[in-house]
Homo-oligomer: A and B are copies of this chain.
Amino acid sequence: MNKPIIEVLDRNCRLPPPVWLMRQAGRYLPEYRAVRERAGDFLKLCLTPKLAAEVTLQPVRRFGLDAAILFADILLVPYALGQEVWFVEGEGPRLDPITDAGRLEQLKRRIDHSRLRPVYEAIAEVKDRLSSSVALLGFCGAPWTVATYMVAGMGSADQSSARLFAYRDPQTFAALIDLLVSSSVEYLTGQFEAGVDAVQIFDTWAGVLPPQELERWCLEPTGRIIAGVRAKAPGAKIIGFPRGIGTGIARYATDLPLDAVGLDWTADLDFVREQVQRRRPVQGNLDPLALVAGGAALDNAIANILDKLSQGPFIFNLGHGILPQTPIAHVEQMLKRIRG
């Protein structure tokens, strides 16, 4: 049976477009909250294959989405490199920060696959239980985005720690990025071997970089990941999501041989149609707050996206992760609107 998402990644146009939602396995679902409570710790949930597989499948089961995306976290890569990672309830991730070359030296030279085995097992488990028309997606964070957490030791509003590190000591920062490139290649290759149909590279913080830094810390390393993964897994399908990249989306789409480009909710869709969708399938880009709001605002936003993008190869998605306060009825309203 065909998987609509893979058809679009093969540059076909599907009407209605296939749909999945970033962070679709999440706190807005009561069944997720139940499993999350059972697991206790967030990291433990990611690293317990049965539970990770279960929450991965929940939104597909409930909504009939066209993809399952593996429940995991972009910080599993630093974790597999030996950096200490933990999650503070209600606050977010914490890491023992990489503050200088000496701290970078203390990381492993490559990821410890034994630490990631639960992820690969979860993939195998989901694959067994997933309908053959639903794509299974893996993912990793882009090196720049992962580095912002590794350097700051937490999330931050403006990623200033990593930006400042990169300005002050570009050589050490480049070594960190290189380590993340090779690690991401291994990690994504491991995900393909375990059975994913495609992967997404999340560059959540691409938008804070000036163009020269964007080139050096985002575009160039992401290009090496794509090439590295495809060298080991020929034809591997890869989606890129450079949140907030602004005008840089044109170069991102031109320079990187991606199978689709993910759009955040601020993307100008006329610009995108001309500069991105002519070259690559696109994915996006409903404002997660429009999904929270529902009603006419939601209907209008969906209609606008379908109007601008559904004539070409297109996967419907949000422009960022679904928010915890999203009413389930609004997700249903959205799917009805998309599927007619």
Interface flag for A248 (CB, 8 Å): yes
Q: Is the Cβ of B167 less than 8 Å from the Cβ of A297?
A: yes
Chain B nearest CB: distance from A22 CB in Å?
15
Chain A positions 175-231 with a Cβ under 8 Å from a chain B Cβ: 207-212, 214
Segment of A33-41, A46-54, A135-143, A262-270 in the binding face: A262-270
Interface flag for A254 (CB, 8 Å): no
- List the number of copies, as a whole number: 2
State which size class the interface on A falls in: 35 or more
- Enumerate chain B residues within 8 angstroms of A246, measured Cβ to Cβ: 207, 244-247, 266-268
Chain A at the B interface: mostly helix, strand, loop or mixed? helix
Chain B nearest CB: distance from A205 CB in Å?
11
Q: Is the Cβ of A210 less than 8 Å from the Cβ of B266?
A: yes
Q: Is the Cβ of A247 less than 8 Å from the Cβ of B271?
A: yes
Q: Is the Cβ of A268 less than 8 Å from the Cβ of B160?
A: no
Contact of A210 among B163, B211, B265, B295 (CB under 8 A): B265
Question: Roughly how many angstroms separate A248 CA and B266 CA in the complex, as a whole number?
Answer: 9
Q: Is the Cβ of A304 less than 8 Å from the Cβ of B212?
A: yes
Chain A positions 234-274 with a Cβ under 8 Å from a chain B Cβ: 244-249, 265-271
Chain B nearest CB: distance from A155 CB in Å?
10
Q: Given A170-B297, A244-B246, A247-B271, check contact A266 B207 (CB 8 Å).
A: yes
- Enumerate chain B residues within 8 angstroms of A319, measured Cβ to Cβ: 210
Interface flag for A1 (CB, 8 Å): no
Chain B nearest CB: distance from A309 CB in Å?
13
Interface flag for A15 (CB, 8 Å): no
Interface flag for A101 (CB, 8 Å): no
Contact of A248 among B210, B211, B268 (CB under 8 A): B268
Query: Quick one: CB contact mask for A299-311 with B, threshold 8 Å, 1 for yes?
Result: 0110010000000
Determine the residue in chain B with the shortest Cβ distance to A248.
B268
Q: Is the Cβ of B289 less than 8 Å from the Cβ of A163?
A: yes
Contact of A266 among B167, B168, B209, B297 (CB under 8 A): B209
Interface flag for A290 (CB, 8 Å): yes
- Enumerate chain B residues within 8 angstroms of A270, measured Cβ to Cβ: 211
Q: Given A164-B292, A168-B293, A293-B168, check contact A301 B210 (CB 8 Å).
A: yes
Q: Given A157-B157, A164-B289, A167-B290, check contact A266 B208 (CB 8 Å).
A: yes
- Enumerate chain B residues within 8 angstroms of A160, measured Cβ to Cβ: 289
- Enumerate chain B residues within 8 angstroms of A210, measured Cβ to Cβ: 265-266, 287, 290, 301, 319
Question: Roughly how many angstroms separate A298 CA and B212 CA in the complex, as a whole number?
Answer: 13
- Enumerate chain B residues within 8 angstroms of A208, measured Cβ to Cβ: 266
- Enumerate chain B residues within 8 angstroms of A249, measured Cβ to Cβ: 247
Of the listed residues A210, A214, A287, the one surrounded by the most CB atoms of chain B closer than 10 A to its CB is A210
- Enumerate chain B residues within 8 angstroms of A168, measured Cβ to Cβ: 293, 295, 297
Of the listed residues A164, A212, A295, A300, the one surrounded by the most CB atoms of chain B closer than 10 A to its CB is A164
Query: Quick one: CB contact mask for A141-169 with B, threshold 8 Å, 1 for yes?
Result: 00000000000000001001001100110
Given contacts A167-B292, A167-B293, A246-B266, 18 further A-B contacts (CB under 8 A): A164-B292, A164-B293, A167-B289, A167-B290, A167-B298, A170-B297, A207-B244, A207-B246, A207-B266, A210-B301, A210-B319, A211-B266, A211-B268, A211-B269, A212-B301, A244-B246, A246-B268, A247-B249
